[in-house]
Structure 1
Amino acid sequence: MKKTLSIALNTLACTAIVSSATFAQAADKPDTVSIGYFLEWPTANQVAQVNETYNKEMGVNVEWHAFDSGTAMSAAMASGGVDIAYSQGLVPFTIAVSQGLPITMVGVAVSYSKNDNCIVGSNTNITINNANDLEGKNVAVPFGTVSHYKMLKIMEHLDIDIKKLRMLDMPPADGAAALARGDVAMSCGWGGALRRMKEYGSELMSAEAQEDIGIRVFDVISASNSFAEEYPELVTQFLKVTDDANKNYQMDPAAVQPIIAKASGLSLNDSNQVLGLFDFPLKEEQISEKWMGGSVQKFTKEVADFFVLQKQMPRSLDDYSQTINASFYTKVN
């Protein structure tokens, strides 16, 4: 596992280009803006995606590219294929900036604690009370993601030796299939894949119990530094459309839920189940101490230091405040 993650990190590091910390004035608009997002991940802003509100408000052609993990988003941003990543996991973001990838967190996409978890197979008879029985068994988890971080924190809390786990780097969909076949004792993931996992097992630790031990889960909105420096107004416009969509969803969820379900590739029932576990922070909350006003910077550092301690990442930054910029959201009106 360490070798695989190390290779991914080195790839990001080699691709990263040193970028100025000062954001330049907006230049002429590009022909196209590329946005990364997830399928089977229903979010309020997908109404604006479907209605092409982003295109209209930003005044550019907006292309949406689906990914299956935040690490894949990082790789795409490193290669210049994605300008803005929507709902990139905090862990992939943290790993990327720790290795020098020139991207910046410009917002919080969604907060969720119940829609990302680890499921143990029913045939294992493993619960939180005998969790040590996982040692020596196969565990599916997408490396370098929020699920990976949560799993490691849970194992630490339950005093399970991760060196004795046979961890397999699998996207959630593959992990769900492996759990269904009985190839793994536990699988970790999110969204539609997590719901499928639950058909074949149960949570090792509830979301509430995870919050009690300090595990916080949220996805970010990140932008490549080169794009944000050249087109700061487009970043703010993207955030404004997103904020408006979040407000509309809060005012009347039922009116837009069918649109979100279709855009996410889920049935209305499945989509609504996921949406019920999501919170979409609005502007004032985004720029407050609770989020980008200070809390996110501190938590990002905690996550990075934990990964270094677990030898899943070679080093962390002394300070992550330079990789998190609330000024774009501050300008949303």
Structure 2
Amino acid sequence: MIARTGAIGLLAATLIASAAVAADKVTVAYFLEWPTANQVAQVDKTYDKELGVEVEWRAFGNGNEMTQAMVSGDVDIAYSQGFVPFVVGVTSGAPLKLVGIAVTYAENDLCIVRDDAGITKDNARELEGKKVATPTGNVTHYKLLRTLTHLGVDPAKVDIVQMNGADAAVALVRGDVVMACAFGGPIDRMRTVGKPLMTGAEQEAVGINTFDIVSATDSFAAEHPDLLRKFLAVTDAANAAYAKDPSAVYEVVSGAAGMDLDATKAMMANFSFPSNEEQLSANWLGGGVQEAAKGVADVMTATGNLDKPLDDYSKFVDPSFLK
């Protein structure tokens, strides 16, 4: 399992990570084809100017690769790292801290109910005894369980079937399941036969969030807290500029993300970039993220993707750099 196979390598590399931080350069992991508001500051080198050091941006294919690079000492900060890879990493011994929320995208991760089922959030208990498709052991699965509980549905009485997004969409359209959950493109196909049980906005309003994070190595956070605070401050300013005038940043962001302009606009339309002040609220680093980390770890353990969750994830979340 992930925890067993990764723990030895992660723990063995901790000493390497603690010795790798260099004061004259900061290395930041990010994703291509994932357009975020802060990429304007990346392109015009605002980060370099405000931090007073060279900021190197290094592209990765997934969040687990980011974790490994941070543990090995090759990366100081990961921007828009997936929440699940972070939870897996720290559960396995990776010396990381969650220091901020990079982007939220609740409307891109939903559960769609067939129209002919007649089930809405108001009578959601009718899902009990029926088949629901979802990828398991990830945030989508965790959000499904949280949503069911919030709506008064007993998850144990729902026939939850493991299906990846594309298969779940086919099953929903075909009528094999009454509801299907997924993220990204499959949701569009699901919408041809149904509607969300809860919209992304409705989920976020009750603390059921979908998001990527900003993480840093323990050593970098301890040795260069001023640089980490400045990094988050520059990000906050870029997010505010985007919120004020989105059209002014699309072209620059599309180039930095390696995407065409229309695709960039379409994707960012479903993104939200919370301010530092918002991130300090109870829904986020004020308690919600810590609770979500434990919930995700419990779900992943129950589905065999982790050997054992930790009792508490609070020590891996540090909101102080946002202040």
1:114 is paired with a residue whose SS is helix
Range moving further from structure 2, 229-238 or 99-108:
229-238
CA displacement, residues 250-295 of structure 1 (integer Å, 9 cap, x when unaligned): 2222211222233334443333333233221222222344422333
Structure 1 distance, partners of 2:248, 2:6, is 41
1:152 is displaced (CA, Å) by: 5.7
Answer yes or no: is 1:322 the counterpart of 2:277. Answer: no
Q: What are the ranges of 5 or more consecutive residues in structure 2 without an aligned counterpart? A: 120-125
Answer yes or no: is 1:65 the counterpart of 2:52. Answer: no
CA distance 1:162–1:260, change in 2 (3 Å): farther
Kindly indicate whether the alpha-carbon contact (under 8 Å) linking 2:104 and 2:272 is maintained by their aligned counterparts in 1.
yes
Task: Kindly provide the amino acid, as one letter, of the partner of residue 28 in structure 1.
Answer: A
Partner of 1:235: 228
CA distance 1:257–1:127, change in 2 (3 Å): farther
1:255 to 248, 251, 255: 248
1:309 is displaced (CA, Å) by: 4.6
Structure 2 distance, partners of 1:16, 1:37, is 22
Kindly indicate whether the alpha-carbon contact (under 8 Å) linking 2:137 and 2:299 is maintained by their aligned counterparts in 1.
no
Range moving further from structure 2, 317-326 or 100-109:
317-326
2:86 to 72, 93, 113: 93
TM-score (norm 1): 0.71
2:29 to 24, 28, 35: 35
1:133 is displaced (CA, Å) by: 7.1
Q: What are the ranges of 5 or more consecutive residues in structure 1 without an aligned counterpart? A: 1-6, 169-174
Matched positions, count: 304
1:274 is paired with a residue whose SS is helix
Kindly indicate whether the alpha-carbon contact (under 8 Å) linking 1:104 and 1:324 is maintained by their aligned counterparts in 2.
yes
Range moving further from structure 2, 147-156 or 89-98:
147-156
CA displacement, residues 233-262 of structure 1 (integer Å, 9 cap, x when unaligned): 332222122111011112222211222233
Structure 1 distance, partners of 2:259, 2:214, is 22
1:104 is displaced (CA, Å) by: 0.5
Partner of 1:298: 291
Range moving further from structure 2, 303-312 or 234-243:
303-312
Answer yes or no: is 1:287 the counterpart of 2:280. Answer: yes
CA distance 1:66–1:119, change in 2 (3 Å): farther
Structure 2 distance, partners of 1:273, 1:326, is 31
Task: Kindly provide the amino acid, as one letter, of the partner of residue 292 in structure 2.
Answer: F
Structure 2 distance, partners of 1:126, 1:72, is 41
1:308 is displaced (CA, Å) by: 3.7
1:115 to 103, 108, 112: 108
Structure 2 distance, partners of 1:130, 1:98, is 33
Partner of 1:4: none
CA distance 1:223–1:313, change in 2 (3 Å): same
Structure 1 distance, partners of 2:148, 2:305, is 14
Structure 1 distance, partners of 2:298, 2:81, is 19
Structure 2 distance, partners of 1:199, 1:266, is 25
1:165 is paired with a residue whose SS is strand
1:49 is displaced (CA, Å) by: 1.9
2:143 to 125, 138, 150: 150
Structure 2 distance, partners of 1:35, 1:240, is 17
Structure 1 distance, partners of 2:256, 2:93, is 33
Partner of 2:161: 165
1:168-179 equivalences in 2 (<5 Å): 176=166
Task: Kindly provide the amino acid, as one letter, of the partner of residue 295 in structure 1.
Answer: G
Calculate the aligned-residue CA RMSD, in Å. 4.0
Task: Kindly provide the amino acid, as one letter, of the partner of residue 282 in structure 1.
Answer: S
CA displacement, residues 49-72 of structure 1 (integer Å, 9 cap, x when unaligned): 22232233331141231324x334
Range moving further from structure 2, 101-110 or 147-156:
147-156
Answer yes or no: is 1:74 the counterpart of 2:67. Answer: yes
Structure 1 vs Structure 2: percent identity of aligned residues? 37
Kindly indicate whether the alpha-carbon contact (under 8 Å) linking 1:86 and 1:109 is maintained by their aligned counterparts in 2.
yes
Structure 1 distance, partners of 2:169, 2:209, is 25
1:233 is paired with a residue whose SS is helix
CA distance 1:13–1:167, change in 2 (3 Å): farther
